[in-house]
Amino acid sequence: MFNVDELKLRRRSWVKIAAIPYNRQGWEFKDCTGVISSDVEIIKEWVATVEAGKVIKSKGQTSCGQGLMLYGEPGHGKTTLALVILQDILRRFPYEAFSPEENKTLVRPCYFLTFSALLDLRGALMEDPTDEEQSLFAGILGESVDDAYNIRVLVIDDVGKEHMSGSGWQKTMLHHVLRTRFNNGLPTIVTSNIPLEAWGAVYGPATESFAREAFVPIALKSPKGDLRK
């Protein structure tokens, strides 16, 4: 683990406003002992591609906007890995890696939220939204007028948890957010209990087809079983 409070001021601030749960702040890849090492290496390869400037707003490149889909049974390390990825990016990346315009004044380069929280945020915007809620949602989509507010790497956790009672609105919302970010050259990390091959049945063929283009899929299955037990 690393000590968040020992990071330089800007990076420390980034970690603390990324909505990373306290019980995972400071975690590194080496702390994910229940995950198969070959899966971690695939993830590290993706992180290296992002760091090399081939994903975030990388115009003309096939990897532009491509994120990660971590899927598998509950308790096999998906959320923890997603949080480790965000923190690795926030504490290591050179500032220029976040933006081809070398924008060094980013407000929130990375952010974590559950899909349920995203739906709640969207619902709040339809009632009496605060300026902060409007700014956050625009940044999630990558559509903020001030590019410094556009979130470079977003984690949407627990996608699929809602699908048993999910409405068409929820499914449309998911596709809209993922597609908009991808089109804006901003990668998303999705964690889900639903295998990629089942996305067509749950979210529709169009969303599954899009997901195969927009994500590097990784099926996680810990040799230790449910890590929460």
H or E segment to which residue 84 belongs: helix 78-92
Q: Output the tens digit of pLDDT for each of the chain's 229 residues.
A: 999 999 999 999 999 999 999 999 999 999 998 889 999 999 999 999 999 999 999 999 999 999 999 999 888 889 999 999 999 999 999 888 887 666 667 899 999 999 999 999 998 888 888 999 999 999 999 999 999 999 999 999 999 875 555 567 788 889 999 999 999 999 999 999 999 999 998 888 999 999 999 999 999 988 877 777 6
Residue 48, in any domain of the structure: yes
Judge contact between 84 and 29, C-beta under 8 A. Answer: yes
Range of the domain at 11: 4-219
Residue 107, in any domain of the structure: yes
For residue 16 the two structure tokens come to 């603390």
Residue 198, in any domain of the structure: yes
Residue 224, in any domain of the structure: no
Q: Taking the mean position of all CA atoms in its chain, how far away is CA 3?
A: 22
| pLDDT at position 130 | 92
The CATH number linked to 82 is: 3.40.50.300
Residue 228, in any domain of the structure: no
For residue 137 the two structure tokens come to 């949602």
Identify the three-state secondary structure at position 159: strand
- Helix boundaries (H) for 77-167: 78-92, 115-125, 131-141
Whole-number Å distance between alpha carbons of 112 and 92: 18
| pLDDT at position 108 | 92
Domain count within the chain: 1
Number of other CB atoms surrounding residue 37 within 10 Å: 9
